[in-house]
Chain A
Amino acid sequence: MHTMIETHQLNFFYGSFHGLIDINLAVAQYQITALIGPSGCGKSTLLRTFNRMNDLIENVRVTGRVFIDGVDIYTPQTDLVNLRKKVGMVFQRPNPFALSVAENILFSVKIHKTAPASQYEAILEESLRAVDLWEALKDKLHRSALQLSLEQQQRLCIARLLPVKPDILLMDEPCSALDPMSTAHIEELMRMLKVNYTILIVTHNMQQAARVSDFAAFLYLGELIEFGSTEKMFTVPKDRRTEEYLTGKFG
């Protein structure tokens, strides 16, 4: 299996706080990998090192190396625009822009000038079909995206990533603002998308990790405690802390 993301001795400091400690991780292509662990364990921080969203915070220091598809992304030559085209991100709260549905989808196409206007319609249809929104929204393309239901907004946020053809989708608790039905739909969508994308999902929800992921990484207090196939980790965890977390002894 091709390795899509790899970290070597990755450390993350926020001021004097040591947020991630010596993380060594390899994420396989076309698989869903879940990052799990209690609040504050560093799972969201880890996710955000892969598209360098942590750069937005002041007072942050990263040591070690992160390779995306074999390329170190923490070098002075790294082009953040290209990195973020390759590594898309879905956030905890759906965050469509206060623009129309169509403008949301076409945003990346327009800023990166990846396609001429004549292809906009095709791109719209293709992206919305990929997240199963086309039928529902094909007559509402010029409505404000803020009028959609939360689930539709989150689907739109996923669809918005697709026109730039990323390789990796980072999902930071994508279902935490959604009800159980919508959550099931998004999980279904993730299974569909993994054929073409490498997906990393941060989740609080152990059942979700068990349902949807192929691999799981358990983080605790900034350290990667255990990493392996989800099935194995959830049935025979190697580390005592993993077992205690999975069985709900702490959380």
Chain B
Amino acid sequence: MLERHWTWHRVKEFLIEKCIYLSGVTSIVIVALIFIFLAKEGFALFKTVGVGEFLLGIKWYPISHPAQFGILPLIIGSLVVTIGATLIAVPIGVASAVYISEVASGKIKEVLKSGIEVLAAIPSVVLGFIGMMTLVPWVKAVFNLPTGLTAFSGALMLGFMAMPTIVSIAEDALNAVPKRYKEAALALGATRWQAIWRVVFPAASSGIVAAVMLGIGRVIGETMAVMMITGNAARIPTTIFEPVRTLTATIAAEMGETVRGSDHYSALFAIGIVLFIITFMINLIADIAVHHKAK
């Protein structure tokens, strides 16, 4: 009775196991295929344009004769908008996470949490549209600029888009800190603020770093809203109140007009590789931060 037989139970077990294995492998295969496709299309550019010329060139004239494919203005455009959005989103996002998790009680907490979720659910094109109609004229008027389509407007808008990610993940990290830490701090005569700042916060630091990195990842990858409100001028800005063009917006705006297989087409894929590497690095840092303290 104890030897193995092909019973229905064992067949079922076998099938379920293989199905799970297959789904796991599928996601990896798809990622690999995407990267191979990206690389195949993108690397074709480097037959005619050097890598240094591509990354550090300051002129993006893809349809001139001769065409120039320098993406430095685009990289700087993405960086300016991302750094700006991060500077706005991180302090406000982390502070609201602290408020929701440590200070707010009962009803307020529930209202805030669902409010954040609603904010995360707004499609970016809608936010971009609202930004174009309200934020852009406001920036133009307040700062007395020739146009409100600036890096600053984009940063502000993206800051609000990154916030839900930062708040919800940071809040989870803060909630995961055992209550006994806070209790111990209070029993030592710490005020509520001291307990949060000196004990709860350091204990949640890895999760908060992850929240920030994922928020930044969201900002760098965002396309629609930035395309609508940053002005899309492919030149290096001298202040944040000038139009910029980001890496993502360039791909989205120009892909429809390129001839398949042309240098311009490959250049857009090469931009895709650059973006891929940037977001990969950010996720890697977030991952390291999470696992660093988890030990």
Q: Does B187 lie within 8 Å of A84, measured CB to CB? A: yes
Q: How many residues of B contact A (CB 8 A)?
A: 19
Q: Does B194 lie within 8 Å of A95, measured CB to CB? A: no
Partner of A97, one of B184, B189, B191: B184
A160 at the interface (CB under 8 A from B): yes
Count CB-based A-B contacts (< 8 Å): 67
Q: Does A164 lie within 8 Å of B188, measured CB to CB? A: yes
Q: Does A89 lie within 8 Å of B187, measured CB to CB? A: yes
Partner of A108, one of B177, B178, B180, B189: B189
Interface residues on A, range: 20 to 34
A91 at the interface (CB under 8 A from B): yes
**CA gap between A180 and B194 in the complex, in Å:** 36
Q: If A53-B186, A85-B189 touch, does A111 touch B203 (CB 8 Å cutoff)?
A: no
Q: Does A81 lie within 8 Å of B183, measured CB to CB? A: no
Q: If A84-B188, A84-B189 touch, does A99 touch B202 (CB 8 Å cutoff)?
A: yes
**CA gap between A99 and B202 in the complex, in Å:** 8
Partner of B203, one of A82, A97, A161: A97
Q: Which residues of B contact A160 (CB under 8 A)?
A: 188
**CA gap between A97 and B188 in the complex, in Å:** 12
Q: Does B181 lie within 8 Å of A98, measured CB to CB? A: yes
Q: Considering only CB atoms, which chain B residue lies closest to A107 in the complex?
A: B188
B 157-196 to A, binary, CB cutoff 8 A, 1 in contact else 0:
0000000000000000000011011011111111100100
Q: Which residues of A contact B199 (CB under 8 A)?
A: 97-99, 107
Q: Does A93 lie within 8 Å of B180, measured CB to CB? A: yes
Q: Considering only CB atoms, which chain B residue lies closest to A85 in the complex?
A: B189
Q: Which residues of B contact A56 (CB under 8 A)?
A: 183, 186
Q: If A97-B199, A98-B202, A99-B202 touch, does A88 touch B183 (CB 8 Å cutoff)?
A: no
Q: Does B186 lie within 8 Å of A111, measured CB to CB? A: no
A142 at the interface (CB under 8 A from B): no
Q: Restricting to B195-224, which residues have a CB under 8 Å from any CB of A?
A: 198-199, 202-203
Partner of A91, one of B184, B190, B191, B202: B184
A 13-52 to B, binary, CB cutoff 8 A, 1 in contact else 0:
0000000000000000000000000000000000000010
A 151-168 to B, binary, CB cutoff 8 A, 1 in contact else 0:
000000100110010000
Q: Which residues of A contact B188 (CB under 8 A)?
A: 84-85, 88, 107-108, 111, 160-161, 164
A112 at the interface (CB under 8 A from B): yes
Chain B residues with a Cβ under 8 A of chain A: 105, 177-178, 180-181, 183-191, 194, 198-199, 202-203
> Can you report 9 residue pairs joining A to B where beta carbons are below 8 Å apart?
A89-B187, A91-B183, A97-B184, A98-B181, A99-B202, A107-B190, A111-B188, A164-B188, A164-B189
Query: Other CB < 8 Å A-B pairs besides A85-B189, A91-B187, 5 of them?
Result: A53-B187, A82-B189, A84-B189, A98-B177, A99-B199
